[in-house]
Structure 1
Amino acid sequence: MHKIVLWVKKHSKILKNIFLMAVVVIVFSELLSISKTISIVQLRQSFSEIPFYKIILMAVVGLVAVLPMTGYDFTLNKMLNLKHKRSYILETSWLVNTINNLAGFGGLISIGLRSEFYTKDKEGKEVLGALSKILLFLEAGLSIFSLLSFCLVITGQSSAFVSQYWPWLIGGGLYFPIIYLFTFFKKKGLLGGLAAKYRWELTVTSFFEWLGVVVTFYLIGYLMDLPISLVDVLPLFIASSIIGIVSMIPGALGSFDVMMILGLTNLGVPRASVVIWLLLFRLFYYVIPFLIGILLFFKNLWSQVNTRYSDIPRNLTLEILHKVEVFLMYFSGIMIVLLATIPQGFTEISWLKQLNFFHYHLVAQFPNIILGFSLLIMGRGIAAQVKRAYFPTIFLLVIAIIYTLSFGLSLAAVVVLAVILVMVFFSRSELYREQLVYSWQWMTVDGLIIGALALLYVAIGVYNSPAFPHHRKSHPISFLIFPSEKLWFAGLLAIIVVAMFMLLFLRYLEGKKQKIGVPLDEARVLRILENYGGNIASQLVFLEDKSVYFYNDGTEDTVFFQFATYNNKCVVMGDPTGKAADFNAALRQFIIEADQWCYQPIFYECNSTSVTTLHELGYDFIKMGEEALVELADFSTAGKKMKGTRSVVNKITKAGYTFEVLEPPFDDTLMATLKEISDSWLKGRKEKGFSLGFFSESYLQRGPIAVVRNPEQEIVSFANLMPTYYSKEIGTIDLMRHHSEKAPSGCMDFLFVHLFEYMKEAGFSYFDMGMAPLANVGHSRKSFTQERIANLVYEFGSRFYSFQGLREYKEKYASKWVPRYTLYHRDSWIAYVMIVILLVDNQAVKVSEGKKGR
């Protein structure tokens, strides 16, 4: 015996797998057996004859009847002092008991499954004792009902036919007193030591289990309006159940059914009705609860798999589910509108007929059009993942289902709408955005769909008007013929109503139109710049034409972004500024918060480090050009390459022009002079900001200004130096402006050469001359399509902007070229990304009074 125990322990995993496979085979076989006894034709006929509310009541009672059986598992968990959650016990208990109902074998399968689900970490002897006691009490309730039935028989209240089953009833009735006394007196051993409270709990559980079975069976017959008496049905049902259990046939299938058919037929119930009665009982007490149990099982299994793989399966499934529900909403809306627009087309065009599952009547045209367009509108809210869209969508789908059921139009339509409803309910967590910002991309999609449907409807109205030429033809396009002008006008009115509703609903989804970021807070920005340094674009924040987003590490602000918002895009200028170690966390937080408020960041003119980080966060990128860097240590005007530049600089120097760097603060006279130069350089053009500086006195007061003076000591050209705070790696300038009349030709080269020398003496390694847009973009055959298109712009767009000229000018100074990229979310359309950048980067700036001085 000891060797057998050791062998079982050694091969326990294999034995468990064999047991589970055997259970699957038994259950599958039982389902096949039941399916053979269930006639779809009979079911359909029965459902058509029985009122819908009675069918629902049968299903509810069948489900409620299963609930008492969960008491076994709650008692088992207390007996073994297990710590499983109630939800886990409820779900697994439902599965165990519904499988046991089907598979049977005297409850042995339920014991095996309970061992698998609840007792993996317990000692074998303790588990075996608890499970054995549970097994003893599984039929206690049946025994109690057997005693009650025996009393009905011996008192003569049951019919003579039922009375012949008294031996089975007395046999079954003796079971409970025997096992109760046995467990009461046996204090030790495998079946001994059961506490009194557990005996009562198991007895009550078993009693209510069998009460549920009896009530379910009897109520189904009662709702079928069959001539039955409880005093006859109860003893017959209990006796048949005992015979089925003794036979140990899975689910008592066969013996139970034969006994019930024979008995009920003798009691005057038509045989056909008995078959349907048993069929419905099987369906509502066995099959449907079992299917729910399977769903609970897969839910539990899914939870384990999801936990094991860090929530990835759940997120992926919800994302797919969300996309499917959006597709179904748009598809359903389009089909309903088309059905109201070209109803004849769904009978004459075969492929259109196959796509349609709604089959709505033309009489309901007004509500059809409203329903169809409403589904499209709600689909936008769900597609945009806006929280506010949830309850209106649920309400609309419920109304659509009720409307479809009320007209008895299409079962397939009800199923599809119900599936969408379930998907919306279970994927509610996908609706996380606080508001809708209606992007151009979404406007384009919705405009094409809704606009095309509306135009089609109007075109059909014109086609059907008496003045249209087809009235003079003998063969008009039949599926475009509309029944009446009145019906068409009703549909047009519905479209107008929907258009108004769409505007209201979109306004509702927009909410308060919250924006992210804050206006410039100089103290916070300066604290970051002084503590952690900046980059070549950081100083642009002080132009005050952009919003600022701060990242706080929990103690202090360490990173900031500067950006402009246009439509649903937040165009971030340059790389993050601040503590490099926090860039990754800051980018993630900024993207998440922007997404929460329905904005999509675009990162403009970023370096390769940002590309790597953002690509991992779901961003695609396009190379926007290259930044020209002059290596100051090696710069010289000597040599053949710089001959022209050297000649120009020497000429201007001999003419008496001088270079000087002025330190702030600057007086009003100097500012007035610089303003005159700037206005002369602009020649009436409006200032542009965002990625470029514009003339702002407060901005210019923040750093040194390099100037060129003529022999009369008048300033004719200037450039403001961009403060780099503690970093001396790269120096650069922002505004470089020359007086259109007073500055000599070549003044730009004169200013640059002296700036290089000044920066070199100040300890800088490189001078940044700015970006050459679209330089070295899309030359390779393997380049992205977007970049190859950009290369065409570079090659042939010089008539609008001198891309090549700018590159060639900077190339004579630059010794190093650093690529710059624009990054955008992969869901964005690149065309709209480029349009937004173009609009933001070329938007005219209105210089306010506050920007004229500090």
Structure 2
Amino acid sequence: MSNENNGIVEDRPALIVRFFLTYRFYILGAASLLIFALVASGVYRLTAEVRYDEVLAALSDTSWSAIALAILFTGLSFFALVLYDVNAIDYVGRRTPFPSVAVTAFIAYAVGNTVGFGPLSGGAIRFRAYSRLGLSPGEIARVIAFVTLSFGLGLLSVSALATLAVAPRVAGILGIDAGWLRAIVLAVLAVLAAVFFIGRAGKGIDIRGFSLRLPDSRTTSRQFLVSALDIAAAASVLYVLLPETHVGWPTFLAVYAVAIGFGVLSHVPAGLGVFEAVIMAGLSNVISIDQLLGSLVLYRLIYYVLPLLLSTILLLVTEMRQLTLRPRVAEAAQLAGKLAPALIATLSLVLGTMLIFSSVVPTPDSDLDVLATYLPLPIVEGAHFLSSLLGLLLVVAARGLGQRLDGAWWVALGGAAVAFAFAFLKAIAVFEAALLALFIVALLVNARAFDRHSSLLRQTLGPSWLAAIGVILVTAFVILLFVYRDTEYGHDLWWQFEFSEEAPRGLRALLGLAIAASALALSSLLRPAHFRTEGPTKEELERAVAITMEQDLADANLVRMGDKRLLFSPSGRSFIMYGIHGRSWIALADPIGAEEEFPELVWQFVSAARAGGGRPAFYQISPPLLSACADVGLRAFKLGELAVIDLAGFEMKGSRFANLRQSYNRGLRDGLTFSVVPPGAVDAVLADLRAISDGWLAEHETKEKTFSLGAFEDAYVAAQPVAVVRLEDKIVAFATLMVTNTRHEATVDLMRFAPEAPKGTMDFLFASILEYLKAEGYRQFNLGMAPLSGMARREAAPVWDRVGGTLFEHGERFYNFKGLRAFKSKFHPRWEPRYLAVSNGTGAALALMDVTFLIGGGVKGVIAK
């Protein structure tokens, strides 16, 4: 079977693949939601004999001493989690103040444990914080990798050892043969021991040209102890909350480790449902389900919600002026303030979920009696119904709060204030009101952190957020079915309005949530995709050129090529130039224009890319932009270094530039002369320049490049000055100059010479250009970027750096980058790092490939050089 469209024939498998690639995020989101629904259904069946009142009784039977022990073990576990980061920073060879690391790690784990996707959510927090503590992007990437791998290997090691110690007991719980279980565990331990042995002296593993350095024995041993402390303490939180049982702690530790592993792999926020399903499946035959459920509820509150609340309180306390008296504590306080949006967004998500869940559980009879005495039924019914919708509003606002939208701040503040009032009107929910009050105070204290002027209603919810909302609603539905398991459902329930009728009230709230969530999902799914313009209009190009000429970045003149799309700031004073290939939306260099608009412009670009189903990336950006990129959840990968010459201190006298001076003097002896043709006079020599360019391309068997390089196009070449070298009045070499009116920086783009040009002509040309620019009052000269320059090549270098380095080594063959570092080094420049900012390592590799195609003119252009 095939489908013919405009002469293109595609078979059915190709159509299926294209459909999946186009809608894969929505397909994966729907699949995750389906899997969660199946797990939730399994949990509901496991609790068939359990009643809501029995769970409440189990909760009330938990002693305060057990709760105190659970809080103690939670603190011990989070102390171990902080040590993960301490060890990671020590592993990369840096020293940072412990208070700042502790604050960062505590908030990162509090947020990561709650929202899931720990390496992504917690990683973004670490990047924001540690970059402000002086760690480079490569070092932060290594810290994140160290923390992630340490947890995974530690979890595997601890669970394997615990399982081996109590294999018969665990085998009986899991229903498998004890011999097979021991064999599997021993195989896992053998692999871990081999890894430990290989890395005992800090040696590496070579895999197809990639070298991965393993931690030495001291680091591995120390980290294993930290992992063991973390997992053991976390397991003890739940263990002390369980009723008296003959299940030993080692057996429980093995079951707990397996449950945590499945919860992490599911990527469901906090492993909700998945963790509970594994625990109940493993322990339901030895502990009554009602008591187990009660313990699990308390465990969630103590280990997940309590640290999040403490993080919020810590955020509020650090705003107190008294803490600024101590420098190190003040630094930690400032760091906590920088992380406020992520923390408050997570709290908004948790509180919204709490309001939704509370709408489907019954109100205590004593509270209903008080409400019936003082309030009419319509007020109670209305407060209950609207509170559930306010919960959904806070969940939606959480996304905007994470993006620092002022509109989301207002929505969250208003929604939380109304929900605070309704907490007393619907159920006298003091605890719920207290949490909302804490949230409101956090919003007010950190109002300045939400400085992006954007409407929450204009934001489109992506598939991950829609799936998260789906998970919350499915959970609420299962809770409602569980709580009112003995209720006989019928159509008349919808119209029953009595203080004592709780099931109808919960059903109406859930129906309202389903309708509102469905409308929200349809609005996001049916909203028109971002329109991909094919190129700037003449007016847009003229406006971009005008902005370029009034700022310092000489490379911004590449906008004159007209081959890149343009995204202007709302004021029109700044813009980003970018290209699209495949799913990659690649911004070239830093934004251009007013610096104060750059952070918002970064958000604007990322939002546009994601709305269009694209993968946002920033290519060849400078260190000052990394903070803005971190705020939108992008990670930095080093590309190389930019060579910059300080023209004020440039002199060809002395030994430093002896070789350059010799080349310049030799050129003069050979009869070479230098001049600069102003833009208005370039047309007169354009034919000669084109002849040299065509000959140079033919000689090097290459084609014109685009995107980050200029091409020989008449209008582009004639728009800026051209430096030429003549031999006997004939032009034998030229370089197009890129300058701006500020005279802060100058650079060259096209550099080409004729075959008859004497040896050393390009050195003569560069030396002459530098002397000319210095005389004209320019402050620095941009020699361009040297790929791979300054990249970490030690065994401890991040894997991502090596992947990027390999791709660029491969790319140099296409772009004639070989020898650039050596050539630029002759001018003794100052080297400045340049980065690629994307969401993750896989995105970095894909973005680099797409950059290759953009520069080479597509796949055919790359193949044809």
Name the TM-score, length of structure 2 as normaliser. Answer: 0.42
Which structure has the higher relative contact order (CA within 8 Å, separation 6+)?
2
Larger Rg: 1
Name the TM-score, length of structure 1 as normaliser. Answer: 0.43
